[in-house]
Structure 1
Amino acid sequence: MDASRPVVGAVDRMPEAGQGLRVLVVESDGPAAAELVQELCRHGHLATSVATAAEALQVHHGVDLVLLDLDLPDLDGLEVCRRMRADGGVPIITVTSRGAELDRVLGLQAGSDDYVVKPYGLRELLARMEAVMRRARPYRPAPVITHGPLRIDAGTRELRLEGRRVELTPKEFDLLFLLASQPGATVSRRQLLSQVWDDEWSHRGRTIDTHVSSLRNKLGSSRWIVTVRGVGFRLGHV
């Protein structure tokens, strides 16, 4: 896959409110796809793009939301939408230049959850994504993530290591929970700043490293949080 297309992390649960969605952008226009992926990542989502229907049908099972253009080189997007809908319940937003009323009707009948006509505003698209996800999953209890001897309870915001409670600061808990919610995936520094520090860019620099160092000390091993040089961090094993 093109280096400009961030790889979606392997996540087996739906991110909770305030956490990024795994978004698949299906768009044959390379520059447009790269720009949209960049904007989605800047807003805290895990986004990747594919340029063909064949790729989309192969990888859509592992995402939370699909942004689907209808004009694809190998298969009409309406048929892609039908096949995705028949294959599972992943939410789909059609994002296309086809703006006629009949096109909208056909898109919704094919199984799209919403229909956005190009050109569009990014804020509108983000709002529609949120609305679609609220309808798709209106309520989910706060998750408990178990990772080896770690037990991370988002409801009580409590961490236990081998049954022993470990006291964390709010930011330490948020950082660890974000890493644990994306097992095996590397979370970038930009995403950590966006989702843990709410885009407070004044906290760039050593802040993440300081919190990672503190977490490693409290967990008793540096192997719990693995540094991926030049990219970010991922949850490890001990």
Structure 2
Amino acid sequence: MVGKTISHYRILEKLGGGGMGVVYKAEDTRLRRTVALKFLPPELTQDSEATQRFVQEAQTASSLDHPNICTIYAIEETDDGQMFISMGFYEGQTVKEKIEKGPLEFEEAVEIAVRTAQGLGKAHSKGIVHRDVKPANIIVTDEGHIKILDFGLAKLAGQARITKPGTTVGTVAYMSPEQVRGEGIDHRSDIWSLGIVLYEMLAGRLPWSGDNYETVLHSIFHEAPPPISRFRTDTPVTLQQVLGKMMEKGVRNRYRNM
């Protein structure tokens, strides 16, 4: 793929990939700008109605024009019918990459959570739920800006990705109980997920013990997370309370909005 030209995009390098697709850095030869192209797996786009809903939701998310939401420029198809998304390219690190180096400084973790909440809040005000808030979908640019990636993709993937063979702990660790059960969800599921992300940024680890799918699911449904103060003694009581409410297992007990 690297070195090829698809439509008016010249592929420069592969940035990464996963269950939601493969991402490349590319040059938009028409507008002379660097972009990121995400090529969606064919199995995600076989259902034409689901694909159309995804396109509509992604278009709505891109129209929000919020500083904490990744800009989507276009949704296109290759000559052989593979769908791809042209979006903003940002130099920086994902929150996942930051956490891999250890717990974040308190001020940075809170700043990332606040900015992410602002972006999600804007989306929620337009009826858009992200459904896949996790460290890998939040990037901190080299300029210090926070960007949320992959709006709409989790809905396109659907419930099947939770139970398909090869599902990893990381796939479900940030999902709310109602999402794992396959129930209808709303913006409060994103609030749960952001609470897990904030906890992990501060503690340097997930609130759930266990390294296998079944154990994590049991924890999500039945166990209270260890107090964040066990890992970060500098966490104010008010923030401990905020985290507790964000991660309430009963959806009605969480915050009503961001």
**TM-score between both structures, scaled by the size of structure 1:** 0.27
**TM-score between both structures, scaled by the size of structure 2:** 0.25
